Amino acid sequence: MSLLFNFIIGLIAAIVGVIPPGFLNLAAAKISMSEGRKKGLLFSLGVSVTVFFQTYIALLFARYLDNHPNIVDMLQKVALGIFLCITIYFFFIAKDIRKENSRQTHKSKTNRFFSGMFLSVLNLLPLPYWVYISITFSTFGWFKFSQPELLLTVIASAIGTFTVLALYVWFFRPKDSPKRLKLNMNYIIGTITAVISIITFFKILKNM
């Protein structure tokens, strides 16, 4: 049963983390439009491979933290401060990136698989994201850090990431649907970090 829980958590967490319009999934959609769906899927595969390793590294770190609850308590307080700062930044300080999306194109057409891997490496958000997700569900007893469960979670993360990117490749057309791009990603990220801040705050209060 723990294997199933880890797989479901890994799959859903990956989908939730990737589905909001961001640089990687919009890049996959634009590559699909300009170079064909095959190139877009190749780019998505490269992103997913990097996410596979990023998730594994994050879960190994999370397992260490899970075995040292005193460190987790301290990190929760630090994380609360960080998430609050990020929330304030994306809601009130960061520039509107809706105009940026139309200019963000990756000109290299040599190997979309490796370009997907490279651009995904630059995105470090999966590391703290998976640490937080795994430790949070572990406190409820729904997530296990033994090796088979970790491997299954990592596989589910890669599958979920590729699935969402493939949906962008096949169905999302930025040039055909300009109104759909009129969505400020800053508010989405700010909302996500605000929700995480609230959850973390109540967890800290519960442990006091």
Task: For residue range 141-150, list pLDDT tens digits in order.
Answer: 888 988 899 9
pLDDT digits (tens, 9 = 90+) for 192-201: 667 777 877 7
Residue 122: band (very low, low, confident or very high) from pLDDT cuts 50, 70, 90? confident
What distance separates the 2 farthest-apart alpha carbons in the chain?
55
What CA–CA distance (Å, rounded) separates 32 from 23? 14
Q: Of 3 and 70, which is predicted with more confidence?
A: 3
Integer Cα distance of 48 and 133 in angstroms: 18
Residue 103: the pLDDT is 46
Helices (H) and strands (E) in the chain, counts: 9, 0
| For residues 126-154, average pLDDT | 86
CA distance 39 to 169: 9
Burial category of 48 from C-beta neighbours within 10 Å (exposed 0-12, middle 13-18, buried 19 and up): buried
User: Model confidence at 208, in pLDDT bands (50, 70, 90)?
Assistant: low
Q: Is 172 exposed, middle or buried (0-12, 13-18, 19+ CB in 10 A)?
A: buried
- Whole-model pTM? 0.70
pLDDT at position 90 is 67
| Angstrom distances, CA of residue 141 to CA of 6, 77, 88, 138 | 11, 22, 32, 5
Radius of gyration of the chain (CA): 18
Is residue 101's pLDDT more than 50? no
